[in-house]
Chain A
Amino acid sequence: MTAVVATLGAVLLVVVAGLPIGYVLLRDVRLGLLVAPIVTGLTAAVAVILMLVAGGSLRWWLGGLLIAQWAATPVLLRTVAPVRAPHASWADLLWLTVPLIPPFLTAFLPPTEWDAHSIWWLHAAYFTRGATMARQYIGHPSINISHPDYPPLLSATVAGAWSVFRGYGLYVAQFVSATLSFSAIAMLGYAVRVVTGRAPVIVSRLAAVCVALAAWGAAPFAAAKGYADPLWSAAFVAAALLLLFRPDPLRRPGLAVLLLTAVALTKNEGFVMAAVLAAIATVRMRHVLGRAWVVWLPVGGGLVWSAVARHLGAKSDIAAEVDFGSLLRGSSQIYDRLSPTLSAIWATVGAIVAVSMATAVIGGITLRRPRRALGLGGDLWLWSVALAYLAILSATYLVSTNEIHWYLNTSVARVTLPFALMAAASAVCWGVAAVTGGRIRGRATSAAAIETTSATPSPAPTSGTAEIGAREG
């Protein structure tokens, strides 16, 4: 089998395997195809966890889970309420995908990126070898430099492809990784399309493209060349927009929960930020607390992986090497790292964040009402997530024992991607409010969606929606 056939086959497999659940979730084949790689990735991650716990080979676990998903699809289609996701059209599909193709051409470049090999594809190699070898390697001291505690989604998907298309093809790994990133970035664009859906169609579609194209940020090599940062960052900001900007986040929460689970099972900082987002979303939905538990499911998934990896002896570079006591005692050795850390973050995304914050402040003063008329939730929720990420990212650099300048030089361009995406999303949403001035697409839609004046006790979704929107004002 040639490398080209194996690569094409692997991409096709990753897309087709997740299509049934993608379709059940969104009830549209086009959107189902876009989210399918994430579904396949989550299935592969679950298969790896089951393999590590129960033994056996990844091929059997992943194959079994996918067959079960396909078999369950007719039942799910009958039992799950058939609510079609909005903005499902060929035009939207093209707007969400075609602009992403040119920057994804970098997937054709030689697969030589350091972290892709040293972390994600190395993990994929031992997952491909089956439970016995994977358990042995995860706890082996020689692998510690490879962060074996990192969650398995990306590596598990590559391992799934390698289990079918044998030979550990590096282009197979690179294209499968790129397919996952493509899906997450397309879903980020879709999330923007959803939250700005009351604006005129062309404005909403342009907004979606602008935010999606921010996913290359300061690390243009990352999205298509095997890194996990664009994958988790795009999925994370997409979930944040769906949970924090929609007036009714618990109406059809499936996509947000799916994306957030992918975040928690892709990278350690993703897991931490999934918990942060779940907490902030819960505060936002405090008046419908009984139904907010669903946003904590992804955190549960991350905890399960964490427990399994720790049980197998995986060492975290942060937890294993740092002295948290020094951080709390205010050790000068720790705090000497603060200045270069903040300087590097500022040099990478400072200008973007500063201009975006200025946009948010001016918008908050002058265009709050048009923004509300578009159904966009309060911008402060998103900025509070960004602030939490700044604290967590800074603390990570402070407590690590890696030489700080080397550490920053090799990572800051990638790990600051969530800032760029949140800044872009915030500014673009204010831009939509500025362009439209609150004029929305058709009165009939707006009257039903925005005017929530139920005077009598109503079913939870409607009353909850009204409460969240009203009290944010």
Chain B
Amino acid sequence: MERGRMGDPVSAGSGETVRRWPRPSGRGRAAGHPIARIVLLLLALAVVSLTGAGAVNASMQGVRGGDPSRIGSDRLFKTQMETVRRQLSVQVPPRSTVFLGGSAGDLWYQRILEFAVMYDIIVVSDESSADFSLSLVREAAAASPGGLRLVATRNR
């Protein structure tokens, strides 16, 4: 069967006209201008080097144990989270409502929201309707791991 362009009508031998895929080059001569192929390969390699940078970055972080600028703070934050979560579960009974003052900031508001769900506790935005008011206070790391303590004050 003779070579043809993609989609060229060709005779199937039975008088009917059909469309066909281009014949592959097989193991023989490669198609395409050599310079165009080299340019394309270089461009593709440029894209791969750009998109692969994130994986290299992640690998280095993984091997080093984290982003050098964040290793200490991430570990401290993890410790603080575990401390606050444990203290919440110990101090506030399930099905209670709690209010967290604005001084704690978005970060701790959202973490306490998450931990509250884990222990059937509801966070409310109105302090007067809360069973407990929560606050976070700084404390020596020896007394409260991570140097942070959750204080729950019963309102009613």
Contact = CB atoms under 8 A, between A and B. Distances in A.
Interface of A: 102-112, 114, 117-118, 121-122, 125-126, 128-129, 133, 137, 140-143, 145-146, 168, 170, 198, 210, 213-221, 223-224, 247, 351-352, 355-356, 358-359, 362-363, 365-370, 372-375, 420-421, 423-424, 427-428, 430-431, 433-440, 442-443, 446, 450-456, 466-467, 469-471, 473
Contacts of A438: 24-25, 30-32
A428 B24 contact: no
Pairs of residues from A and B, 8 with the lowest C-beta to C-beta distance, nearest first: A437-B30, A105-B62, A431-B44, A216-B54, A473-B6, A214-B51, A470-B19, A102-B59
A351 B36 CA distance: 21
13 contacts: A106-B58, A109-B62, A112-B74, A424-B48, A437-B25, A437-B31, A438-B31, A439-B24, A439-B26, A454-B18, A455-B16, A466-B19, A470-B20
B69 interface: no
B109 to A, nearest CB: 9
Contacts of B136: none
A125 B55 contact: no
A216 B44 contact: no
Contact of B32 (A168, A218, A434): A434
B141 interface: no
B51 to A, nearest CB: 4
A370 B32 contact: yes
B32 A122 contact: no
Contacts of B104: none
A122 B58 contact: no
Nearest to A469: B21
B103 interface: no
A374 B41 CA distance: 16
Given A140-B122, A216-B54, A355-B50, A434 B63 contact: no
A216 B57 contact: yes
A217 B117 contact: no
A436 B28 CA distance: 10
B41 A434 contact: yes
A145 B107 CA distance: 12
A455 B15 CA distance: 9
A436 B125 CA distance: 64
Contacts, number: 261
Contact of A437 (B13, B18, B32): B32
Given A367-B32, A430-B40, A103 B113 contact: no
A143 B58 contact: no
Contacts of A105: 58-59, 61-63
Interface of B: 1, 5-7, 10, 12-14, 16, 18-33, 36-41, 43-48, 50-52, 54-59, 61-63, 65-66, 74-75, 77-78, 81-82, 107, 110-111, 113-114, 117-118, 120, 122-125
A122 to B, nearest CB: 4
Contact of A453 (B12, B24, B46, B48): B12
Given A106-B61, A366-B36, A436 B117 contact: no
Contact of B47 (A140, A359, A369, A455): A359
A369 B32 contact: yes
Contacts of A372: 6, 21-22
A133 B120 contact: yes
Contacts of A423: 47, 51
Nearest to B21: A450
B43 A420 contact: no
Contact of B51 (A104, A145, A217, A247): A217
A137 B32 contact: no
A111 B78 contact: yes
B80 to A, nearest CB: 10
B26 A220 contact: no
A470 B120 CA distance: 60
A142 B113 contact: yes
Given A434-B40, A452-B21, A470-B20, A129 B55 contact: no
A366 B22 contact: no
Residue from the set B20, B55, B114 with the largest chain A CB neighbour count within 10 Å? B55
B58 A451 contact: no
A137 B119 CA distance: 13
A463 to B, nearest CB: 10
Given A362-B36, A372-B21, A453-B20, A143 B31 contact: no
Contacts of A375: 21
| Centre residue among B47, B65, B74, B82 by max chain A CB count within 10 A | B47
A149 B155 CA distance: 33
Nearest to A121: B114
A355 B43 contact: yes
Contacts of B22: 369, 372-373, 450
A467 to B, nearest CB: 8
Nearest to B8: A473
